[in-house]
Amino acid sequence: MAKPRVAFFEFSDCEGCQLCALDLTPEQLLDLVSVVDIVEFREAMTEKAGALDDHGDGTDSIDVAFIEGSINRESDVARLKRIRERASIVVALGACAHIGGINALKNFQSEEEYRKAAYPTDPYKYESTTAKAIGEFIKVDAVIPGCPIDTGEFLHVVKDLLVGHKPQVPDYPVCVECKLKENGCVYEKGMHCLGPVTRAGCGARCPSNGGYCYGCRGLISKPNIASQQDIMQKYNLNEDEMLSKFKMFLQRSKEVFPDDK
């Protein structure tokens, strides 16, 4: 029986999530390539199977497309749709693809401002639009959240897909994992944390290591934003400071920024 054909694609991002997908032990890597046929993966291999289109992507059908990065150009949209047409299953790989990621910080500026910041000598030389998640343009079948993704979670998703299950990611807050680890809450140390509204699955990585959660895995499906704001106010955060916490990763979240373009 032919192995499932798997491909990796990137748009605007740092490619760190693809690196995490590659961060396997030699045994894990051999196991992976024994069960899937990786046909495109620019970060890891130069060969591509079959004919290529103008963008250098393949044209043959694929079973699973892992797509990393946010959409920042009109031409990205056409390319993204071509990938969707080729793929039976599309997985958003990491926060940039899943929720627009850190790229979407530019959306808080005017087009002129972000163009001048990125290309000061010739601001209109390149295409550049507001940053958006891939799910704003195409159907996404599964997500692997996080900035960056967790390699173990990537492997779980691959295993689920291979046995025909829809991959599930936790839909409860980071606070649950944080409490299970018996961490003291960072609010008591004067920090402000988005753990109460952010999707778990990282093992409360940041609060467990001296930091706070800044929402990189996106919101849970029913976040209580008002309650999160109450907590922040209780700990003396003013409105602007509160918004700045939400801005880093949640710009595309209508629950937080309902009026956004």
**Chain residues that interact with ligand SF4, rule: CB under 6 A:** 13-17, 68, 94-96, 101-102, 146-148, 174-175, 178-179, 183, 185-187, 193, 195-196, 198, 202, 204-207, 213-217
- Closest Cα to residue 136, out of 43, 9, 260? 260
Annotate 235-253 with b (16+ C-beta within 10 A) or e (fewer): eebeeeebbebbbbbbbbb
Least separation in angstroms between CB 12 and ligand SF4? 8
Closest separation in Å from C-beta 88 to ligand SF4: 23
184 vs 181: CA distance, rounded Å: 9
Query: Smaller CB distance to ligand SF4: residue 62 or 178?
Result: 178
Region of 228 on the Ramachandran plot (φ > 0 left; ψ -120 to 50 alpha; else beta): alpha
Tokens of 223: 């976040």
Cα–Cα separations (whole angstroms), residue 57 to 68, 87, 143: 14, 12, 22
| H or E element in which residue 39 lies | strand 37-41
CB of 43 or CB of 112, closer to ligand SF4? 43
Helix/strand/coil (H/E/C) assignment for every residue in 75-111: HHHHHHHHHHHHEEEEEEECHHHHHCHHHHHHHHCCH
Please identify, using beta-carbon distances, which residue of 198 and 253 lies nearer to ligand SF4. Answer: 198
Minimal distance in Å, beta carbon 89 to ligand SF4?
A: 20
User: Is the Cβ of residue 32 or residue 206 nearer to ligand SF4 in the bound state?
Assistant: 206
Minimal CB distance to ligand SF4: which residue? 195
Closest approach of ligand SF4 to the CB of residue 154, in Å:
11
User: Could you tell me the two tokens for 245?
Assistant: 């916490």
* Nearer Cβ to ligand SF4 (38/197): 197
| Among 100, 87, 40, 92, residue whose Cα is nearest residue 66 | 92
Closest contact distance (angstroms) between CB of 19 and ligand SF4 is 8
What is the smallest separation between the CB atom of 217 and ligand SF4, expressed in angstroms? 4
Cβ proximity to ligand SF4, 14 vs 49, nearer residue:
14
Tokens standing for residue 43: 């970060």
Q: What SS3 class is residue 227?
A: helix
- Compare residues 15 and 111 and give the one whose CB is closer to ligand SF4: 15
How far apart are CB 173 and ligand SF4 at their closest, in Å? 7
